[in-house]
């Protein structure tokens, strides 16, 4: 089963969190053969393997892809919207 949504956690040189962006799976695959995920704007694009390895890809000119990024899988929409389990 593949994950359809991730949070990308961008950090600075000290490891402090600078930004968190939610990305969703697209129908495309990257050069490594893994799915490409993108944010709602299409600016943030990343190839994420089933082991959580990430490669952020530039989506336009003059971008410098981030290197200090962690990924966190997000629950599927039906899991997050009330599976009947108590909170």
* pLDDT tens string 44-82: 999 999 999 999 988 777 766 666 889 999 988 765 555
Give the pLDDT confidence score for residue 82 in this predicted structure. Answer: 53
Spatial separation of the C-alpha atoms in residues 43 and 25, rounded to whole Å: 14
Give the pLDDT confidence score for residue 76 in this predicted structure. Answer: 84
Spatial separation of the C-alpha atoms in residues 1 and 50, rounded to whole Å: 9
Helical spans, DSSP H, in the chain: 77-80
* pLDDT tens string 10-19: 988 888 888 9
Please indicate, yes or no, whether the overall pTM of this predicted structure exceeds 0.85: no
Give the pLDDT confidence score for residue 17 in this predicted structure. Answer: 85
Distance of CA 10 to the CA centre of its chain: 10
């Amino acid at each position: 089963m593949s994950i359809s949504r991730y949070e990308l956690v961008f950090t600075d040189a000290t490891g402090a969190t600078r930004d968190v962006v939610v990305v969703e799976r697209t129908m495309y695959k990257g050069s490594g053969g893994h799915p490409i995920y993108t944010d709602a704007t299409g600016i943030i694009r990343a190839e994420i393997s089933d082991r959580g390895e990430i490669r952020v890809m530039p989506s336009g000119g003059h971008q410098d892809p981030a290197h200090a990024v962690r990924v966190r899988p997000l629950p599927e929409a039906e899991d997050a919207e009330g599976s009947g389990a108590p909170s």
